[in-house]
């Protein structure tokens, strides 16, 4: 059974129970009241009859006394119990005199009986208790019908309200099924007036938006990855074919083979970066955090890097504050800094200068890699940490645009942050901030 029908069934059952309780209360209350009123009527009928019956010269005179009126019997007996007036054959005739009113259970029902002695006779007014039912049964029927009508109305009303309340949920189900059947994640739920369903639709829509984004990103990522892998493969194939065709020319073959090795290295680098990014996404990347001296680590690194810079006719300087320790994965921090310095070398201008800086700012160690190279436009700064993003693909043909994306992932794994400040044509400063141990 659907939730909607179940709610309406429970609701109707509850209304029905409530109505039954009200009806029973009403029934017992009106019974008590009617019985009280019947007792009073019997007493009154007795007193009326006593005023209409006269004993004159030992004889009884009845002035228009009815034997039965509104279910109340008037009986007159002689002192020895012989019925002189009234209906024979009823239970109320069979019992003896007793002053006052009493309730008796006789062969033909429960009776209310009132007796009164008058000049050697006794007068009796009697009524069956069941008289009240004939008096009020039509009222009961009316109340019962009204109650049933109310139950039906409330069940229909309940069904209407529940159906309206479930409308957004049904729309949600149908949109979700449409999405499940097809692959259109751009579909959105309409907003409705009720607060809860509005919140539900907006939560569902934002979830759809996020799913849509992440599917698009994944697709872009796969497209980019395939593209990046296809290029070196095409070069390898072309060089192999060329080497094969000029197999007798040793110099040409050597040149082709070294080109193949270069492309294979590039592919290997690309595949390991992809693997690492995928591990970072899955959360399965291994981190080996420990306390180490960032100052000493950068001192060693700056010597190697200044050598590299010199080979490219660039000058390199470093200003490193001593005694700065951090708690992080040393290997990841080294790789991140190398990546930043390599970029600074790659995107520098002729005879450019690179500056490596380490300082402490309160509880954070700040590493800056500053260059006076080509710089990055404000628009591109927003995207340089995206996977596969390259400002100028032709300029960095040997790289793939995954370096900064990996630096960002590694920084996050070490509770560090990476940021960039740059001006197109004037140079860039990349800053890595790591919490101090
Ligand atoms: P790549 O492997 O292409 O260098 P990165 O992720 O390291 O990939 O960098 C992404 C892009 O950001 C680069 O292609 C380049 O356009 C830009 N970039 C990175 N570092 C610098 C820098 N120091 N100066 C200018 N541009 C830079």
Same domain, 335 and 275: no
Same domain, 92 and 225: no
Ligand 1 center–CA 285 separation, angstroms: 24
Owner of token pair 């800053």:
431
Return d(Cα 79, Cα 406) in angstroms, integer.
Answer: 122
Asked if residue 256 is part of any domain, the answer here is yes
Same domain, 346 and 415: yes
Same domain, 265 and 315: no
Which atom in ligand 1 lies closest to the alpha carbon of residue 348? 24
Same domain, 97 and 200: no
Residue 270's closest CA among 229, 227, 222, 217?
A: 229
Return d(Cα 263, Cα 238) in angstroms, integer.
Answer: 11
Residue 403's closest CA among 329, 318, 344?
A: 344
Q: Is the full-model pTM beyond 0.85?
A: no
Return d(Cα 211, Cα 206) in angstroms, integer.
Answer: 9
Which atom in ligand 1 lies closest to the alpha carbon of residue 404? 6
Same domain, 232 and 329: no
Asked if residue 165 is part of any domain, the answer here is no
Return d(Cα 113, Cα 102) in angstroms, integer.
Answer: 5
Write out the DSSP string of 348-378: PPTT-EEEEEEEEETTEEEEEEEE-SS---H
Asked if residue 167 is part of any domain, the answer here is no
- Residue 135 in this model has a pLDDT that exceeds 70: no
Residue 69: partners with Cβ closer than 8 Å, 6 or more residues away: 45
Same domain, 293 and 258: no
Cβ atoms of 405 and 386 closer than 8 Å: yes
242 to 251, 267, 344: CA distances (angstroms): 12, 20, 35
Asked if residue 307 is part of any domain, the answer here is yes
Asked if residue 126 is part of any domain, the answer here is yes
Ligand 1 center–CA 238 separation, angstroms: 28
**Residue identifier of the C-alpha nearest atom 1 of ligand 1:** 401
pLDDT digits (tens, 9 = 90+) for 262-303: 999 999 999 999 999 988 888 888 899 999 999 999 999 999
Residue 298: partners with Cβ closer than 8 Å, 6 or more residues away: 318, 320, 337, 356, 358, 367
Same domain, 104 and 132: yes
pLDDT digits (tens, 9 = 90+) for 209-228: 998 888 888 888 889 899 88
Return d(Cα 61, Cα 79) in angstroms, integer.
Answer: 16
CATH of the domain at 40: 3.30.450
Which atom in ligand 1 lies closest to the alpha carbon of residue 339? 7
Asked if residue 335 is part of any domain, the answer here is yes
Asked if residue 145 is part of any domain, the answer here is no
Examine the fold and report which residue of 282, 310, 330 is the final residue of a domain before the chain moves on.
282
Residues spanned by the domain of 268: 195-282
**pLDDT of res. 437:** 83
Owner of token pair 């920084």:
411
Residue 294's closest CA among 362, 355, 369, 358?
A: 358
Examine the fold and report which residue of 136, 156, 184 is the final residue of a domain before the chain moves on.
136
CATH of the domain at 233: 1.10.287.130
Cβ atoms of 338 and 301 closer than 8 Å: yes
356 lines ligand 1 (CB under 6 A): no
- Residue 42 in this model has a pLDDT that exceeds 80: yes
**pLDDT of res. 282:** 86
Examine the fold and report which residue of 136, 151, 174 is the final residue of a domain before the chain moves on.
136
Same domain, 262 and 361: no
Same domain, 253 and 328: no
Same domain, 330 and 429: yes
239 lines ligand 1 (CB under 6 A): no
374 lines ligand 1 (CB under 6 A): yes
**Residue identifier of the C-alpha nearest atom 11 of ligand 1:** 390
Q: Cite the beta strand spans of 149-248 per DSSP E.
A: none
Q: How many domains does the chain have?
A: 3
Same domain, 315 and 397: yes
């Amino acid at each position: 059974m659907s939730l909607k029908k179940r709610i309406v069934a429970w609701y109707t059952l509850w209304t029905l129970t409530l109505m039954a309780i009200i009806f029973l209360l009403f029934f017992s209350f009106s019974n008590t009241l009617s019985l009280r009123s019947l007792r009073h009527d019997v007493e009154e009928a007795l007193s009326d009859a006593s005023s209409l019956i006269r004993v004159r010269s030992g004889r009884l005179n009845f002035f228009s006394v009815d034997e039965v009126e509104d279910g109340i019997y008037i009986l007159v007996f002689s002192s020895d119990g012989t019925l002189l007036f009234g209906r024979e054959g009823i239970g109320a005739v069979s019992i003896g005199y007793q002053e006052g009113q009493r309730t008796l259970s006789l062969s033909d029902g429960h009776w209310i009986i009132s007796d009164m002695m008058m000049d050697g006779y006794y007068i009796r007014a009697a009524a069956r208790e069941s008289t009240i039912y004939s008096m009020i049964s039509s009222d009961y029927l009316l109340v019962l019908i009204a109650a049933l009508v109310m139950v039906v109305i409330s069940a229909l009303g309940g069904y209407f309200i529940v159906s309206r309340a479930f409308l957004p949920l049904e729309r949600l189900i149908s949109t979700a099924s449409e999405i499940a059947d097809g692959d259109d994640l751009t579909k959105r739920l309409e907003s409705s007036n009720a607060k809860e369903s509005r919140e539900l639709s907006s939560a569902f829509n934002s979830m759809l938006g996020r799913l849509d984004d992440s599917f698009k990103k994944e697709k872009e990522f796969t497209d980019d990855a395939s593209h990046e892998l296809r290029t070196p493969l095409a070069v390898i194939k072309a060089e192999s074919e060329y080497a094969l065709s000029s197999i007798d020319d040793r110099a040409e073959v050597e040149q082709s083979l070294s080109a193949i090795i270069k492309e294979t290295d590039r592919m290997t680098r690309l595949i390991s970066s992809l693997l690492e990014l995928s591990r970072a996404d899955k959360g399965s990347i291994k981190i080996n955090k420990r306390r180490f001296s960032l100052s000493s680590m950068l001192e060693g690194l700056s010597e190697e890097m200044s050598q590299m810079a010199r080979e490219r006719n660039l000058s390199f300087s470093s200003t490193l504050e001593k005694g700065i320790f951090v708690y992080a994965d040393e290997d990841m921090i080294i790789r991140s800094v190398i990546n930043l310095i390599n970029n600074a070398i790659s995107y520098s201008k002729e005879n450019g200068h690179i500056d490596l800086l380490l300082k402490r700012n309160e509880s954070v160690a700040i590493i800056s890699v500053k260059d006076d190279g080509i710089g990055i436009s404000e628009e591109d700064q927003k995207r340089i940490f995206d996977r596969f993003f390259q400002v100028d693909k032709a300029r960095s043909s040997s790289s793939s645009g995954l370096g900064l994306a990996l630096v960002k992932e590694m920084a996050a794994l070490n509770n560090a942050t990476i940021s960039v400040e740059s001006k197109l044509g004037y140079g860039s400063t990349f800053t890595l901030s790591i919490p101090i141990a």
